[in-house]
């Protein structure tokens, strides 16, 4: 049961660290404006589909989970 507690503490600290970094850096200006993100605007209709941003976030999270999942 102590392994679960340690894991929760580590996950909480990582989330808090990410929150502090985001507060200090503000919004990342490149996130959501990558080449490959689809943005269509016609009249009062706007369609936005962040394909490249989604792939980048997915790869980064996969790498993080893979690194922290190794024991």
pLDDT digits (tens, 9 = 90+) for 7-61: 888 888 888 888 887 777 767 676 778 899 999 999 999 999 999 989 988 998 8
Residue 42 sits in the same domain as residue 65: yes
pLDDT for 1 equals 62
Same domain, 40 and 25: no
Q: How many domains does the chain have?
A: 2
In this prediction, residue 71 carries a pLDDT of 61
Same domain, 69 and 42: yes
Shared-domain flag, residues 41 and 55: yes
Q: Can you tell me the distance from the alpha carbon of 9 to that of 64, in angstroms, rounded to the nearest whole number?
A: 17
Beta-carbon contacts of residue 10 (< 8 Å; ≥ 6 apart): 68
Separation of alpha carbons 18 and 40, rounded Å: 31
Its pTM surpasses 0.85: no
**Residue 52: helix, strand or coil by DSSP?**
helix
25: containing domain = 1-30
Radius of gyration (C-alpha) of the chain in whole angstroms: 17
Same domain, 40 and 69: yes
């Amino acid at each position: 049961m102590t392994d679960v507690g340690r894991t929760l503490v580590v996950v909480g600290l990582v989330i808090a660290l990410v929150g502090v970094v985001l507060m200090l850096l503000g919004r990342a200006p490149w996130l959501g404006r990558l080449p490959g993100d689809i943005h269509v605007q016609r009249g009062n209709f706007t369609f936005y589909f962040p394909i490249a941003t989604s792939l980048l976030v997915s790869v980064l999270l996969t790498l993080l989970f893979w690194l922290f999942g190794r024991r």
